[in-house]
């Protein structure tokens, strides 16, 4: 199945959203569709994944639910003593204030990073996992620079960001340890598109 139509759709969404979110008159309208933006990325990644087997299913569950569970635990217990909190209009479905859709958000970063790092000429799970975790860190750093302006959550500390890098490494390691065999042309465009999109928001917000 050709991935060209999906890439075109993503690029159109990125371009229009970048313009809309940096325009005061259109900001609220585009902000309201952010959840669909996350869901669309997930659907494209799943649709173009070619090999569904037990390792892939286990990894998908880890990539989606491990960050979500830890996020809930951190906010419920104030484990890190941070002032981090999701704002109410992000999502109405939540656990301890954590929107459940964040599971899909983390799946998108985790899967695309793990897939791309697996294609590097490196035969060491530890190095591959570190590379994937670095890719996630780059992406979520951009996100955390712009998200407070978009009103999804309160600004957080770098300690919180470091926590997600560690979790990202754990998820990346599970991908390589499980020996997930994946072929997915969309992973590059999803990861690269998100990186370019949030870089653009950093520049213009």
Contact assessment for residue 104 and residue 42, using Cβ atoms and an 8 Å cutoff: yes
pLDDT band, very low/low/confident/very high, at 134 (cuts 50, 70, 90):
very high
Q: What is the model's pTM?
A: 0.90
Report pLDDT for 95: 80
Q: Total domain count for the chain?
A: 1
The span from the first CA to the last CA of the chain, in angstroms, equals 37
Report pLDDT for 86: 72
Low-confidence winner among 29-43, 83-97, 161-175 (lowest mean pLDDT): 83-97
Q: What is the pLDDT of residues 145-164, one digit of tens each?
A: 887 777 676 656 677 788 88
Average pLDDT over residues 24-35: 77
Report pLDDT for 144: 84
Extract long-range pairs of 121-127: CB within 8 Å, 24+ residues apart: 125/173, 125/176, 125/177, 126/173
Report pLDDT for 80: 64
Residue 58 structural domain: 4-204
Pick from 42, 140, 16, 31: nearest CA to 89: 31
Strand pairing class (94-95; 98-99)? antiparallel
Report pLDDT for 84: 65
Q: What is the pLDDT of residues 69-92, one digit of tens each?
A: 998 888 888 766 655 667 665 656
């Amino acid at each position: 199945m050709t991935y060209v139509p999906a890439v075109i759709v993503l690029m159109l969404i990125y371009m229009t959203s970048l313009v809309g979110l940096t325009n005061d008159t259109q900001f609220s309208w585009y902000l309201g569709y952010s959840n669909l933006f996350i869901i669309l990325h997930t659907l494209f990644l799943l649709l173009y994944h070619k090999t569904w087997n037990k390792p892939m299913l286990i990894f998908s569950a880890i990539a989606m639910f491990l960050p979500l569970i830890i996020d809930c635990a951190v906010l419920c217990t104030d484990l890190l003593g941070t002032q981090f909190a999701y704002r109410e209009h992000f999502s109405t479905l939540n656990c301890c204030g954590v929107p459940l859709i964040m599971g899909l958000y983390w799946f998108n970063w985790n899967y695309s990073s793990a897939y791309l790092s697996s294609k590097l000429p490196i035969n060491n799970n530890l190095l591959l996992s570190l590379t994937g975790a670095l890719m996630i860190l780059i992406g979520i750093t951009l996100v955390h620079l712009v998200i407070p302006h978009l009103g999804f959550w309160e600004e957080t500390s770098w300690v919180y960001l470091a926590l997600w890098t560690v979790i990202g490494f754990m998820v990346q390691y599970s991908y390589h340890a499980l020996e997930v065999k994946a072929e997915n042309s969309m992973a590059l465009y999803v990861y690269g598109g998100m990186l370019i999109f949030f870089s653009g928001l950093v520049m213009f917000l």
